[in-house]
Amino acid sequence: MIGKLNHVAIVVNDLEAATAVYRDTLGAKVSAPVDLPDHGVTTVFVELPNTKIELLLPLGEDSPIAKFAANNPAGGMHHLCYEVEDIIAARDHIIAAGGRVLGDGEPKIGAHGKPVLFLHPKDFCGTLVEIEEV
């Protein structure tokens, strides 16, 4: 059901410094920052030959990642995103298999303009998982 790894998300407390590490130190191509108010984050994507790194900065005090950022002042891995062909079929399969979908269970439009859902980390080896329809 899941396809390729779309991205690994890392929460950072200084987006400019984190972008510089990937761009200047590692020589990667990085996107411009994009605010996603509906998700409470600002994102930068680092493009790699086989996947992407998503740098996440909390957007405001009510950001769903604000607590994670506060608890991890040096930053840290937040979630993995896998591609799926049909997000509704994937959601229904996951629920039928005993997995939990966070929120109201309905897809939201993610950073790539495509439907996404987040899956409970307790059901996936302690890792927050995002699925994105491609």
Specify whether 47 is catalytic.
no
pLDDT at 46: 98
Domain with 40 in it: what CATH number? 3.10.180.10
Total tally of structural domains belonging to the chain: 1
Query: pLDDT, tens digit, for every residue of 3-54?
Result: 999 999 999 999 999 999 999 999 999 999 999 999 999 999 999 999 999 9
Range of the domain at 71: 5-133
Candidates 47, 54, 106, 130; catalytic one? 130
Closest CA to 99 of 120, 82, 118, 117: 120
What does pTM read for this prediction? 0.95
Query: pLDDT, tens digit, for every residue of 96-115?
Result: 999 999 999 999 999 999 99
